[in-house]
Structure 1
Amino acid sequence: ATRHQHWTQQEDEQLKIEVKKFQRGSSNIDWKIISYSLPSRSAIQCKCRWNKYLQPTKHYGKWEKYEDECILTMKRDGFMWADIANRLERRTGDYIRDRYVNYLDPNIKKTNWTEEEDQLLFKHQRVLGNKWSEIQKILPGPGIRPQNSIKNRYNNRVKAQN
C-alpha cells in the first residue's frame, strides 16, 4: 500500500460500495476483505478513511452548543472519548478529543499572548523544534495553551516576520 497518497473520488466511491457490501452491524466491518478491492490501500487506511471522512452518520461542520455541553459533562464524569462519541453519534472520538483539548478544556489559557510567552516560544522552538507538547510544558501558567494554539502562534509570528 502506498503512503500519504491522496484518496481519489473513485477510491472513495469504491470504499463506500465495499463497506455497504461487507458491513455487519455498525462497528463490525472486515477491513482486510474490503482492502482487497482497493489494491493501493491497506486495511488500516480503509478504516481510517471511512471513520474520519466517509461514514454517513458522522458530522464535521459547526459544533452545536448541546454537543459542547455534553462533552464537558461526560468528560467531567470520567467518560472516554469513544463513549462520548457513541452518545453524540455525529462525531468521532478523535474530533471530540480535539474539540475538548483545543477549545473546551476549562484549563485553557484564553488571554492574549504576552511578550514573555513569545520569547519562550521562539527560544524553545529553536532547541526542541516543532515538539509543541514539550514547549507547552515550558510556557508559564496559570492555564495552558493548547498545542495547536502554540503551533499556530509560532507559524503566524514567523509569517509576520517575513
Structure 2
Amino acid sequence: MPLSSQAIDMPKNSIQLIQLGYIFFALLMYITMVILVPREKIRKLFWFSLLWGPTVDISLVWIFTALHLYKYLYLKPFDFLGAPIWNALSWIPAIVLFLYFLPDRKERYVIWLYIATFSMVGVFVGAYYSEFGLVQDIHFHYVLRFPVWYLWFLAALWHYRKLYAQDEGLVEKWHS
C-alpha cells in the first residue's frame, strides 16, 4: 500500500522528514540547472520559466485540489494557499532545462518525443511524491499526469517559439 494512504497517522518526526522531500527535490533541480546550463542562458530563460513553471504549477494544483483529484500533504509552513512552494519553485529549473536542451532538429517527431520524455519525468516525480506521502491521490492516478505535463510543455514551447524564435534565427528551422 502506498505511503500516501497511510500518511495521515504519521508521527511528527516522520512528517518533518517527509517535508524535506519537497526541499530536497527543489535543491536537486537547482543544482542540476546550475551545473548544466550556462549562467547567461539561465538569466535569459528565468522570467519565462517563472511564468511557465510556478505560475502554471500553482494554478494546476488549485484546480486539481478543487476538483478533488489529489491533494498535497504536509505543506506547512511551506505552502501558498494549499500549493507547495518548494514544488512550484522546482519548476523554474525544470523549464530552463527543458528549453536549454531543446533539440534543434526539423523533424516534428523529435520534438514530440522530447516533450514526451520530459512528461514521463513528471510522471516519475508524481509517483515519487505519491509513494512517499507528499501527495494523496484521491480520484487521480499519477500516470494520468502524463497528458497534463505533455500539454504544459507543449504550450510552454509554443509560447517560447513565438517570443524568441525570431531573435535566435530559429524561425527558418521550425517552420520549414
Which of the pair is proportionally richer in strand? 2
- Please, what TM-score do these two structures have when normalized by structure 1? 0.26
Which of the pair is proportionally richer in helix? 2
- Please, what TM-score do these two structures have when normalized by structure 2? 0.25
Q: Kindly name which structure, 1 or 2, has the bigger radius of gyration based on alpha carbons.
A: 1
